[in-house]
Amino acid sequence: MSLIRLEKQFTGIGEVKNKLFTQVKRNEKIALYEVSEDNFIYYELIVIKVNAVCLDFEKRLYSEVDFKESYPKSNQWGINGFTYKTLETALKKFDILNETIEG
C-alpha cells in the first residue's frame, strides 16, 4: 500500500487560488495550515481524509492499493474543516479534535 501525504506547503487553486498554505502542525488525523494572501494570515484546521487514487475517472475505477490524503472540499467546512483568525485558537481546537476523533 502506498499513501500520498498532503503537501507541507502549496499554493491554492480554484476557490483558494493564489493563497499560500503552509503546514504548521499535524498528526495522523489532523493538519493545521497557516494560510496567507496579500499580507493577510489566518489558519485552517482540517480532518485528514484518505481516499483511493482514481485510476480512470470516466469508468470510476479506483486503486485498491494506492491512497492519498485530501483536504476537505468547501461543502465539508464546519464538519471536517475549520477556519481561525489566530494560531492560539486553532491550536486549542487541534487538541480538542485530537481527543475526540477516532482513528
Q: For residue range 13-56, what is the model confidence (pLDDT) as tens digits?
A: 888 888 999 999 999 999 999 999 988 999 999 999 998 888 88
More confident residue, 90 or 59: 90
Cα 79 to Cα 58: distance, rounded to the nearest angstrom: 29
Q: Which pTM was predicted?
A: 0.87
Residue 31 confidence (pLDDT): 97
Name the strands in the sheet holding 2-4, side by side, starting at the edge strand that comes first in the sequence: 2-4, 61-70, 49-56
- pLDDT 10s digits, 75-102: 999 999 999 999 999 999 999 999 988 7
The band of 103, judged by pLDDT with boundaries at 50, 70 and 90, is low
